[in-house]
């Protein structure tokens, strides 16, 4: 298992490195249309072939990975921060704050995410650049994805607040804010870290689902999600198996993240 974890980390580092250097590594601009070479098979000029509009699949894959690999962790970070704030406040202060937070958490957990995202996406202003649309998509993911984390954090804090060290700090006159920031938060690091690593693949897959519905990141910006939309026509895959590369990459990223998460104790 240790070897697998090392391989997974190595793979993630490689993919992250390649996609961050997409501007230098990619043969072409991801949006450039070679209209006379649409649906070309892999060749020296187009190592992974071209799509329906003649855009280089490799360039789009590298750019798409960069967006997904930067935005999904950023959204996971934001969701974890929201989860920490709500969970800690609810667990520590209890009372009406806890009840309100619990109701809010239950509400968010019971919401059908996909439909909420579709609705929120439709309410956004139309005249925004593709980059702003990308940021908005992942911010929305963060805004609706914090609930499960908040519940775990709340339970941990509710248990910790009666720990000896915390009671001792309170007896010494330590304020609530100081207690939360300097005594409870450091103890929550393993919980928050786990939540973060769980959310990264979840957000990657949710963005992929939105992409399949044509509602994720807007053209011409690529993401792993909208690159997967090509695979809806599964009969075409037999003729052009190289189209599977984005799916394979997503699978390997999610699997690698799984190995990293399951081995997080080793890393901490």
User: Where on the chain is the footprint of other proteins (CB under 8 A)?
Assistant: 31, 33, 35, 38, 52-54, 118-119, 121-122, 126-130, 133, 213-215, 218-220, 233-236, 239
CA proximity to 74, closest of 204, 223, 191, 190: 204
Q: What DSSP letter does each residue of 95-135 carry, written as one string?
A: HHHHHHHHHHHHHHHHS-HHHHHHHHHHHS-S---HHHHHH
* 181 token code pair: 């920031």
For 56, phi then psi, to 5°, come to -65, 120
CB of 37 to other proteins, least distance (A): 11
Residue 108 or 230: which CB sits closer to other proteins? 230
Of 50 and 68, which has the nearer Cβ to other proteins? 50
For the bound state, the minimum distance from the C-beta of residue 215 to other proteins, rounded and expressed in Å, comes to 5
Closest approach of Cβ 228 to other proteins, in Å?
13
249 contacts 201 by C-beta, under 8 angstroms: no
CB 63 to other proteins: min, Å: 15
Are 91 and 154 in contact by the 8 Å Cβ rule? The answer is: yes
- Closer to other proteins at the Cβ: 100 or 233? 233
- Give me the least distance between CB of 34 and other proteins, in Å please: 11
Nearer to other proteins, 141 or 180 (CB): 141
- Residue with smaller CB distance to other proteins, 147 or 240: 240
CA distances from 30 to 24, 25, 61 (A): 12, 12, 8
């Amino acid at each position: 298992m240790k070897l697998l974890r090392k391989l997974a980390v190595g793979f993630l580092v490689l993919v992250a490195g390649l996609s961050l250097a997409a501007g230098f590594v990619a043969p072409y601009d991801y949006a450039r249309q070679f209209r006379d070479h649409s649906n070309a098979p892999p060749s020296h000029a187009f190592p992974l072939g071209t799509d329906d509009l003649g855009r280089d699949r490799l360039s789009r894959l590298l750019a798409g990975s960069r967006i997904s690999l930067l935005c999904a962790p950023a959204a996971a970070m934001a969701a974890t921060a929201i989860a920490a704030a709500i969970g800690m406040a609810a667990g520590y202060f209890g009372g009406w704050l806890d009840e309100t937070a619990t109701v809010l958490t239950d509400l968010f957990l019971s919401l059908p995410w996909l439909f909420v995202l579709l609705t929120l996406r439709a309410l956004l202003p139309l005249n925004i650049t593709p980059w702003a649309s990308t940021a908005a998509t992942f911010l929305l993911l963060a805004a609706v994805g914090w609930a499960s984390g908040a519940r775990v954090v709340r339970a941990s804090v509710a248990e910790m607040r009666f720990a000896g060290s915390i009671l001792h700090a309170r007896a010494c006159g330590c304020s609530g804010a100081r207690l939360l920031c300097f005594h409870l938060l450091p103890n929550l690091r393993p919980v928050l870290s786990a939540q973060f690593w769980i959310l990264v693949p979840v957000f990657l897959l949710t963005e992929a689902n939105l992409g399949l519905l044509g509602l994720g990141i807007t053209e011409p910006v690529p993401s792993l999600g909208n690159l997967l939309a090509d695979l809806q026509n599964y009969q075409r895959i037999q003729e052009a198996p190289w189209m599977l590369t984005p799916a394979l990459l997503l699978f390997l990223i999610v699997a690698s993240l799984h190995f990293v998460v399951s081995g997080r104790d080793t890393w901490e």
